[in-house]
Amino acid sequence: MSQKSFAKISIRIIAIYIATYGIMYIPSIATLFEFDKIDDVKTIVMVVFSIITPLILSILLWLSSDKLAIWVIGNQNNVKPINADVTQLQTIALCTVGFIIIVTALPNFAGEIIRIYYSVPIIEGERILNTYHLSYLVTSSLKIILGILLVSGVRFWVHLLHKIKRLGLYEKKL
């Protein structure tokens, strides 16, 4: 594997990580409906940009990963091959991204549980859930699940990436 390929894979992993953060803001749309701020243009713009900006950035990183890899490496005449298997690098990368997602989501998950417990008003002996905190609890839960799936199912994801990479390359014999 060349240094360019390694840099390209690294840039694409960063793009996936940024895209997951954009996707995780989708539950915040539920808070707009609870607080009747759907008419507030500033709020709509803020939520849309918090979702769309990371997605656009990740798509741009993914599409320009070749040029960025060349820019990062610099002079290609002195590039030496890296003695590493692509499968090993993908396994390490996916596990690292999964652990980062879990580590960043766990404090948010615990904090939202505490916020829900202490901020829920009790009316006639019944607790009423606030969808604002509930949506962030769901977001944190989804992040933890995504991280666990990346870490525990790393062989599946690496196998899937290799299958996607080989799509259309081989003709099937009848």
Distance CA 145, CA 102 (A): 8
Nearest to 122 by CA among 133, 130, 110, 132: 130
Q: How many CB atoms lie within 10 A of CB 105?
A: 20
pLDDT tens for 31-58 read 666 655 556 666 667 777 778 888 899 9
Residue 142 identity:
L
Summarize pLDDT for 14-30 with one digit per residue, the tens: 888 888 877 777 776 66
CA distance linking residue 71 with residue 129, whole number of Å: 50
Three-class SS string for 148-160? HHHHHCHHHHHHH
Q: What is the pTM of this model?
A: 0.54
Residue 151 has pLDDT above 80, yes or no: yes
CA distances from 173 to 163, 170 (A): 18, 9
Q: Strand, coil or helix: what is 33?
A: helix
Helix (H, G, I), strand (E, B) or coil at 78: helix
Whole-angstrom distance, CA of residue 113 vs CA of residue 121: 14
Domain ranges of the chain: 1-80, 85-174
